[in-house]
Structure 1
């Protein structure tokens, strides 16, 4: 299922209906007002060149990753696949698991966080608000601590059960464990220029046409702060997805 090595973006899975890739950090998922290069446009151009397609290339954005987040991401190559994957997201048969490096560690080594989140569109920030707040959205995630260091950093595995804007960053910060490098929700503990330590490690769903299970797995790069832990720790986490 792996495609040509000529693609500039690492490909995890590809067939006539789907394209699964490793999103580079600090690249937009789709075009915005900044005019900066975005993944959707880059992939369309790559498909056009690799397959020598005339005219416009269809590629459907099924889910998004924040600009500083890297890792596994799936796109639909047909409108039928896009529609069915969107339905899988709505019905929660679309699984997303992340790895994060945080400051501190939760009191419990594993648990579920449920909060109401409210987004301020003007500032593009999200905060936890009381249940019943107008405009607030229910947010749920499960977490598991995979490792702790004496320098106060912890490695956490997060399974998203809802897909709210900045959800992982906001809920873990509200718990008292902001992500390493997060300037929006952990500015007191992070320094400008640090890379946000959040990685899309697993995306799983039924194939929109064959219904067979599809699993995309991507481990973080071997660089700071991820390299505080041995690669075997990430391989072990990957086998648990």
Structure 2
């Protein structure tokens, strides 16, 4: 999600779909991840990275489960989306742990950031179904490309203060629609991230404007769907400064 700060979100990702949902395995059980989130993420979405580090054996077992069981064509759309959202958020935590302690995800990697080359989101530091992948691949090449649901931007968490709240439960197919709507309400009604009554929004609504305006929608329609205060002066929206500090407890 955060990559949009560095590059056009429409940029192509060669080879992203070569994971091809090859296997006909049953959908992944996310309960182990759910337990870790409940244990190490508070109601504000702040993460106890030291706690994750202490439990990294269990955490890495969950990541291994993801790695060995890519979505199959037989899975429902909700099962596939829940898998990829959980994978994005879990591997983001793993990326932070790989470099912990850090003050910001942007501190990881080369100080000279070349979009899709040297940003932390472009690093292919994990494998799924035998294919080396990056966080970019999941967000832009799979979720945004294949599922046509802008609500993913309320669910993907780039380990930063201005990101949406990291949910302290795993996304699941059965609850996905409700969870995504809940994330939207939480994000739009958090005054540190959006102030619709003052026509001040998160940069997400600028970075991903093409997603919010697709299919006859608009930024104003999406904001008004979830915000308690309607968006005033939608033609004069400004964007709040993005806080990249680590979302740590």
The structure, 1 or 2, with the larger RCO (C-alpha pairs under 8 Å, 6+ apart) is 2
TM-score, structure 2 length as denominator?
A: 0.23
Structure with more of its chain in strand, by fraction: 1
Structure with more of its chain in helix, by fraction: 2
TM-score, structure 1 length as denominator?
A: 0.24
